[in-house]
Amino acid sequence: MTRERVRRRAGFLSGFLTVAAVLLLIAPSGSAAPTQNQARIADLTIRQGDVPRRIVGYGLVVGLDGTGDHSFGATSSQNPTVRSVINLLRRFNVEVPSDRIRLRNVAAVLVTAEVSPYLRAGGRFDVQVSALGDATSLHNGTLWITPLITDPGMPPIATAQGSVRIDDEGGRASYGKRGNAGMLTQGGILEVDPPPAATGTQPRLLLRDPDLGVATRIATTINTAIGEGTATVEDPGAISITPKDAAGGSSLGVMAAIDTLTVRFQGPARIVIDEREGTVVAGGDVTVGTAVVHHKGITLQIGGTAPKAGTAGGDASAEGKGEAAPAGFVRVEPQASVQDVAAGLATAGATPDETVAIFEALRAAGALNAELVIR
């Protein structure tokens, strides 16, 4: 090989190694960094004072097809629904003896709703109704006009009326537990303006889910976009806003601009388990450490050496060896995801209660560093 060819090959190899090094720098590594979420500040926070008003009322749903409150006749003259119907008819100068009222087509309901603090008189909102008595279904019923109040003894601020819509619109097939509650879409009307908002106070953003890291990122994003010193973190749940004159002098304009800013943040290490259905939802990059849990015939082994098939415990990793894993044995590698653990437990036939108990045991043993929410 001539000296010129050696020089050319050395130059080619040097260039190839340089390109390879650059590709290694920009390519994602095998152990990826924790995933980050991106959201608007308006989706992560609420403004101080933006507390919805909760209102409630007692009403009657009429027009039911024999599925209302079943108590009727002389034995139920003191029934609240009976007295409500009598009082309602008296407003129209109609007197009916209590022992002559049959309530199969009427149901007493509790009416609830949440109203925006900025909704003005005439604004509409959704209303929920729930049966108070022994009505079996509110399907096809109509809510009689019902006054809504904020607290007992306070004057009404809104009214609600209209047709009730339940979850399952299957007619008589919808009778059952789900038929005892329903909704009136835009069935409420606000009749009184809200009290005036407090003026002269410094604007503040309140985090929906207090977290110091997220609050710091929000403040940094605001200061970068609006101006240094605009946002100051007070605590993990509150950020004070000081509008700058350079931003236009209007605090509302500054707050509107802040709402549209986006923030990148790492999701919380949290696991939510439905105790009834067994649904497991993990937020963030949650993994499990080495541990062994045995609970009611189910053994979960994380890491360690898998026992041979046919011995106590069995081999959960025997699929690739052509050997069958014993029933109730689950084995995963260390740093496996919560999804892998949940899938293994489901395959082993773990019930929702057993799944909850196993995850709680992992948390107690220090093999799971995440918040557990059982609901």
The pLDDT of residue 15 is 43
Q: How far is Cα 356 from Cα 362, in angstroms, rounded to an integer?
A: 10
How far is the CA of 13 from the CAs of 9, 24, 58, 280, in angstroms?
6, 16, 84, 51
d(CA 179, CA 171): 10
In 3D, which of 171, 130, 151 has the Cα closest to residue 56? Answer: 151
252 and 274 in one domain? no
Which residues make Cβ contacts (< 8 Å) with residue 115, sequence separation at least 6? 52, 53, 54, 55, 123, 125, 158, 188, 190
Statement to judge: residues 66 and 94 lie in one domain: yes
- Give the range of the structural domain holding residue 142, as residue numbers without chain letter: 53-190
Predicted pLDDT at 86: 81
Tell me if 277 is assigned to some domain: yes
What is the chain's mean pLDDT, rounded?
78
Residues 290 and 246 both lie in one domain: no
User: Is residue 345 packed enough to be buried (19+ CB in 10 Å), middle (13-18) or exposed (0-12)?
Assistant: buried
pLDDT of 273 higher than 80: yes
Q: Are 171 and 281 contained in the same domain?
A: no
**What pLDDT, on a 0 to 100 scale, did the predictor assign at position 78?**
63
pLDDT at site 23 = 31
Same domain, 88 and 180: yes
The pLDDT-based confidence of 164 (bands split at 50, 70, 90) is very high
pLDDT band at 34, cuts 50/70/90?
very low
Q: Are residues 260 and 278 in the same domain?
A: no
64 and 170 together in one domain: yes
Distance CA 356, CA 296 (A): 12
Give the HSE-up count for residue 361: Cα atoms under 13 Å, Cβ half-sphere: 18
Per-residue pLDDT tens digits for 170-222? 444 333 344 788 999 999 999 999 887 666 577 899 999 898 999 999 999 99
The SS3 assignment for 162 reads strand
Query: pLDDT, tens digit, for every residue of 222-259?
Result: 999 988 989 999 999 999 998 875 444 567 788 888 99
Indicate if 152 and 274 belong to the same structural domain.
no
Q: Is 326 helix (H, G, I), strand (E, B) or coil?
A: coil
Inside any domain, residue 225:
yes
Query: Residue 47 pairs with which residues in a beta bridge?
Result: 205
Please identify, among 244, 266, 288, the residue that sits at the C-terminal boundary of a domain. 266
Does residue 20 lie in a domain region?
no
Same domain? 280 vs 241:
no
Give percent above pLDDT 70 in the chain: 74
More confident position, 74 or 163:
163
Place of tokens 């923030």: 263
**The model's pTM:** 0.61
User: Is the separation of the CB atoms in 355 and 280 below 8 Å?
Assistant: yes
Whether 195 is in a domain gets the answer no
Does a structural domain hold residue 176?
A: yes
Q: How many domains does the chain have?
A: 3
> Does some domain include residue 28?
no
Which of the pair, 35 or 226, is modelled with greater confidence?
Answer: 226
**99 and 158 both lie in a single domain:** yes
**What is the DSSP secondary-structure string of 260-316?**
T-EEEEEPP-EEEE-TTT--EEEESS-BB-SEEEEETTEEEEESSPPPPTTSTT--T
Among 213, 248, 266, the domain boundary falls at: 266
Q: What band does 356 get if pLDDT is binned at 50, 70 and 90?
A: very high
CA–CA distance, 7 with 27 (Å, rounded to integer): 30
Whether 73 and 175 map to the same domain: the answer is yes
**342 pLDDT more than 60:** yes
On whether the CB atoms of residues 335 and 286 are closer than 8 A, the answer is no
Q: pLDDT of 277-322, one tens digit each?
A: 888 988 767 889 999 999 888 999 998 776 655 544 444 444 444 4
Report the distance separating Cα 288 and Cα 336, nearest Å: 6
Of residues 240 and 10, more confidence is placed in 240
30 occurs within a structural domain: no
pLDDT at residue 128, rounded to an integer: 95
Q: Domain boundary at 147, 165, 190, which?
A: 190
In a domain, 115, yes or no: yes
Task: Say yes or no: 168 and 223 in one domain.
Answer: no
- Among 18-22, 51-55, 93-97, the least confident range: 18-22
Strand, helix or coil at 38?
strand
Cβ contacts of 173-177, under 8 Å, gap ≥ 24: 174/137, 174/139, 175/67, 175/136, 175/137, 175/139, 176/136, 176/137
